[in-house]
Amino acid sequence: MGTKGREILKELGIDLKELIEKLNKAFADEWLAYYQYWIGAKVAKGMPREAVVAELLQHAADELRHAGMVADRIIQLGGTPLLEPKKWYDFSNCGYDAPVDPDVRKLLEQNIKGEQCAIGVYKSLIDYTKDKDPVTYDIALQILQDEITHEEDLENIKEDIQIMLKKMK
């Protein structure tokens, strides 16, 4: 986006520096979420391992795609996406939950918590940009829809495991 686009945002009351900061925070969240899913898929143990691993890998790919969407928007706004991975922890809203316990049920719990946090982050970005920055609003809305689906997918597997365990009793 050229300077005209940025000028319009300023006129509409968007503090560009603040918006870029918020986007960089979401960007850090996406990378940490990506890695949490990716490494979780590697170490996962327990039934049904294959279904959980497939789901975690799918989510990892989505989070990486989200990181790309957010980075592109930061650049359009004239900002710079975080250049150093060590900054991810400083900027992150949702943090990182290491999968120290590889039990699939524990992984599901950790990632559900992460998705709930991500939903809050994008909801607040939507509120922040509503009627002011339709481009960022649209990106945040698309990502929010994915995060809601992610949470639901994980909840569904959790439910299946509970049903399976009940049957085994």
Q: Applying CB under 5 A, which part among 17-25, 29-37, 49-57, 99-107 lies near Fe ion?
A: 29-37
CB atoms < 10 A from the CB of 108, how many? 22
- Using CB under 5 A as the binding rule, whether residue 66 contacts Fe ion is answered as yes
CB 58 within 8 A of CB 105: no
CB of 30 to Fe ion, least distance (A): 5
Nearer to Fe ion, 25 or 66 (CB): 66
Considering the rule CB under 5 A, would residue 22 count as an interface residue with Fe ion? no
Q: How far is the CB of 136 from Fe ion (least distance, A)?
A: 15
User: Which listed range, 28-36, 38-46, 101-109, 156-164, lies at the site for Fe ion (CB under 5 A)?
Assistant: 28-36
- SS3 for the chain is CCHHHHHHHHHCCCCHHHHHHHHHHHHHHHHHHHHHHHHHHHHCECCCHHHHHHHHHHHHHHHHHHHHHHHHHHHHCCCCCCCCCCHHHHHCCCCCCCCCCCEHHHHHHHHHHHHHHHHHHHHHHHHHHCCCCHHHHHHHHHHHHHHHHHHHHHHHHHHHHHHHHHHHC
| 20, 23, 56, 63: which one binds Fe ion (CB under 5 A) | 63
Span 125-164, contacts to Fe ion by CB under 5 A: 147, 150
Q: Give the residue with the Cβ less far from Fe ion, 22 or 66.
A: 66
Under rule CB under 5 A, residue 55 binds Fe ion: no
Task: Quote the least distance from Cβ 18 to Fe ion, whole Å.
Answer: 21
**Where do contacts with Fe ion occur on this chain (CB under 5 A)?**
30, 63, 66, 147, 150
